[in-house]
Structure 1
Amino acid sequence: MPDRSTELVRRLMDRYGSTFAEEAGIRLADRPGPLYQLLVLTTLLSARISAGVAVAAARALFGAGYRTPEAMARASWQQRVDALGRGHYRRYDERTATELGDEAQLCLDRWRGDLRRLRAEADGQVRSLRSMLVEFSGIGPTGADIFTREVQGVWPEYRPYLDRKVTAGATKVGLPAKPESLTGLVPPKELPRLASALVRVALDRTPPDDLVRTARRRA
């Protein structure tokens, strides 16, 4: 890898290298609790609201004890609305509170509260995984991208998963836009962090000057 690409990736990872799950306090692992928490975070990130607010709302929900589908399903609609409000997730709070209840019940009914069963059924097929994810009421194609992008860290059969938002960020800073080229820039386990960094760049209207300068030197 060229030295300038190395420098750019290092700067990206230093500045933006936390995944959204990490920011939400999720210690992602192939276990029912963290996987369900990622599903909740994915639902929040799927709305047209800032990622920072979505992460804060996830922390508020988890802080209220809604860390499992059982706990989320037991909570009243108003309790979920109140928790979302404490995270300043107000514009979509009522709709999202309903979706979170419906999703928790679907997780319990179809997957017995354990998304590892969803993983087993998808059998390493991205299309199958995405089709099952969008059955959750608050998750559409964008949400399926978010979940798969983050979960590839613990479900390695889905690596590399670098969607259009990731490649848009890569293009913005002058890195290769092809997923197969991006894959070689970091060790496989670091792909979720690189993907999250590039998504943040794609969402940022004014990337930091140091990244812009490094990208220009690569041009």
Structure 2
Amino acid sequence: MSQQDIVDALIADQGVLFSEEIGANIARDTPQELFHWLIGCLLLAARISSDLAVQAASALRAEGLHKIDGLLDADDVTVMRCLGENGYKRYDGVATDYLKSTAAIIRERYDDDLRNMLDDDADTVLARLTEAKGLGDMGAQIFAREAQLVWDVFYPRLDGPAEQAAGKLGLTTDHGALVSMAGSRERFVRLTAALTRAQLRGAGDRVEQAAD
């Protein structure tokens, strides 16, 4: 089958955004949704499965701990319990410190609004993202991969596991060509999520068939 068939299968079968999985609607481009995605990326960047990271980030939202006020007002035991019950038992203490410190940093340096760190240079924005404790370069790249839906500075972006999966499936890694095959900005971002998911969790049957 053609590269277009592979792209279409990826988007249709595995194109749910990781931000959507945790309950963050980053398409709204609001401080709250972007912050929830940021702390989701912090968890996704840890040495733990992406499934458990998604589960933990979703659980934080369910308990109101996805908000800056919620994290700063909560005691450590409350945050640790939420993380520990959702796959982070071995890392609940460290992760709690990272989450609360990140909430404090975004409040103090960016007035509760991640959009205040925007700049015309992508590397500058990535460096500012890594100020979040525990996020690191990997977490910043995860954030950028889906934030490109609303942040022009990152669009179009294909890197890390998404780029690796593209190579394995026989897709070009040329951004312009992939944007063209995706057909829209949103579909391109869904494509990057699908490729990341294929690399981390395995390609779906329909994707494998299209790649044969």
Q: Is the 8 A contact 1:124 1:158 kept in 2?
A: no
1:30 aligns with 2:33: no
Q: Residue 201 of structure 1: CA displacement?
A: 1.3
Report the number of matched residues.
Answer: 210
Q: Determine the C-alpha separation between the residues in 1 that align with 2:206 and 2:31.
A: 40
The equivalent position to 2:196 in structure 1, one of 199, 203, 211, is 199
Tell me the alpha carbon deviations over residues 176-210 of structure 1, each in whole angstroms, 9 at most, x when there is no partner. 12333322221122222110100111123x53343
Higher mean alpha-carbon deviation, 181-190 vs 104-113, is at 181-190
Q: Determine the C-alpha separation between the residues in 2 that align with 1:167 and 1:4.
A: 18
Name the structure 2 match of 1:4: 2
Q: Which runs of 5 or more structure 1 residues have no equivalent in the other structure?
A: none
Secondary structure at the counterpart of residue 181 of structure 2? coil
Tell me the alpha carbon deviations over residues 48-104 of structure 1, each in whole angstroms, 9 at most, x when there is no partner. 111111111011111111132121111111111111123222232111011001000
Secondary structure at the counterpart of residue 98 of structure 1? helix
1:189 aligns with 2:196: no
Name the structure 1 match of 2:153: 157
Q: Determine the C-alpha separation between the residues in 2 that align with 1:138 and 1:184.
A: 35
Identical counterparts, % of pairs: 32
Query: How does the TM-score come out when normalised to structure 2?
Result: 0.93
Query: How does the TM-score come out when normalised to structure 1?
Result: 0.90
Q: Determine the C-alpha separation between the residues in 2 that align with 1:209 and 1:47.
A: 28
Q: Determine the C-alpha separation between the residues in 2 that align with 1:57 and 1:164.
A: 23
Secondary structure at the counterpart of residue 153 of structure 1? coil
Q: Determine the C-alpha separation between the residues in 2 that align with 1:145 and 1:152.
A: 11
Tell me the alpha carbon deviations over residues 7-50 of structure 1, each in whole angstroms, 9 at most, x when there is no partner. 21121112111000001111112111001101110101010111
Higher RCO, Cα 8 Å, sep 6+:
2
